Amino acid sequence: MNDGKVREVVVIGAGPAGYTAAIYLGRARFKPLLLTGSKAGGQLMLTTRVENFPGFKEGIMGPDLMEEMRIQAEKFEAEIKMQEVTRVDLRSKVKKVWTGEKEYRARTVIVATGAEARMLNKGEEKFLGKGVSTCAVCDAAFFKEKTVFVVGGGDTAMEDALALTRFVKSATVIHRRNELRASKIMQERVLGNNKIRILWDTEVVGVGGESKLEKIKIRNVKDGKEEDLMAEGLFLAIGHAPVSEFLKGQVDLDEKGYLITNLVRDGVENKKVWLGGFPTQTSVEGVFGAGDVVDARYKQAVTAAGMGCMAALDAGKFLTESVVA
């Protein structure tokens, strides 16, 4: 069932990238339809105070920032529906997007569905923003002189541990294996830092606390011995999963599921496309990507917002040139 309209643009996803795209498109009078899904606001809805988004000298709560973006998008006549996209048909000139039985049609589509941090699924979800974090760069300053733990063994975990040492009393890396997966140079930096220790062959099997994180339970994977540790912070650095399952077979994705655009392929910027064309366009004409569903590297609210702006400008240019043609 469709509503009989062929819109200029549908934006899928409502984090910083999706809202920013809707704001730009709305101001340009393209009257975008924004399909937020059930998790409008993205990962920022799980954070507390955001201090690294420009324009808020005292910081702003993550949900409040997303609410301000939503209101701004509506001010410029973006049509916002809290509906989950279940499938798409992007191959034809007129794109089709379904939310259950409801069908929407548009000349262009911007995918800004973001990525979800991988969790341990040990009950830590209830402590997100209350001692548990998935972004050390974002939240390190809130853990001054505290005892914190980082879960993971790759470059991201090493980067998180190093970023935390500027603030915390101590940082302990918890890794399931007896050797790190991180690059050699990152390993050397971590192993040479006296504020960081590593628990080898260890996994987190539980978390505890009342209103905030207070302790974690660890287990040695070799002998099965368990131990409770007092913890004031737990940082998960075990990867992100882009929200792109519904795009399979429609547009090109890399081996991890990230959306491939003209600008970013395998996490590497293709600077040649800056001079012309549509940097944020995917493998399908008229379909653009923005935010963490594209960006496997930076994963910041401000970079997602910037990419949302880029995708909106590209979609607007595409629509304008299509009319002229």
Q: Where are the beta strands (DSSP E) in 18-121?
A: 33-35, 49-50, 60-61, 79-81, 87-89, 95-99, 102-111, 115-117
d(CA 49, CA 55): 14
Residue 99 Cα to chain centre, angstroms:
22
Measured over the CA atoms of residue 221, residue 225, residue 228 and residue 231, the dihedral's sign is negative
d(CA 61, CA 5): 37
- At residue 172, the 3 state secondary structure works out as strand
Hey, which residues are catalytic here? 135, 138-139
d(CA 37, CA 149): 32
120-154 exposure pattern, b = at least 16 Cβ within 10 A, e = fewer: beeebeebbbebbbbbbbbbbeebeebebbbbbbb
What would the two tokens of residue 162 be?
A: 């190093």
Cβ contact 27:128 at 8 Å: no
What would the two tokens of residue 159 be?
A: 């980067």
